[in-house]
Amino acid sequence: MAFKHSFQVRWVDTDGAGVVHFSNYLRYFEVCEEEFYRSLNLDFKTIRARYLVALPRIEAYCNYKASCRFGDEIEVSLSVREIADKTVTYDFQVFLKADNKLAAEGYLKCIAVNEKWRAIPLPSELAKVIRQSSV
């Protein structure tokens, strides 16, 4: 099951072409990821405090299908693609809600690091919580 989060395109997200700047889709992915963690009673700070781990991105990808414009209602969906030893990869899709059109899709690959930003195994408790969310 994908996790879903909806919000509106803000004026500041648009560029001189009248559409959302391409870099902002990665920010939309991240907003959805934040809400996903919140739905698990987690957030970046809690993850860091409880599991002594941070999850910076090592890869980001986006494929652009259709433009989003100011005021558009969009729905971002997140699904867990893969949980590996030290990484977790989330797939994202951005839909224009007015016509349920796919605007963009991509992924973020995150790596578990300790406070010195050295890669470490994903804490098993955290992996379990993430895995269960996606059933």
Binding site for its own copies (CB under 8 A): 8, 10-12, 14-19, 21-24, 26-27, 30-31, 34, 43-45, 54, 56-64, 67, 69-71, 117
Residue 5: how many CB atoms within 10 A of its CB? 18
Is the CB of residue 87 less than 8 Å from the CB of residue 110?
Answer: yes
CB of 31 to its own copies, least distance (A): 6
Which of 62, 124 has the CB closer to its own copies? 62
Q: Say which residue the tokens 């870099």 belong to.
A: 23
Which of 117, 128 has the CB closer to its own copies? 117
Which of 102, 131 has the CB closer to its own copies? 102
Return the exposure string of 41-58: e unless at least 16 CB atoms fall within 10 Å of the residue's CB, then b: ebeeeebeeebebbbeee
Which of 30, 129 has the CB closer to its own copies? 30
CB of 135 to its own copies, least distance (A): 26
CB of 5 to its own copies, least distance (A): 11
CB of 133 to its own copies, least distance (A): 19
Tell which residue, 123, 121, 11, 9, has the closest CA to residue 75: 9
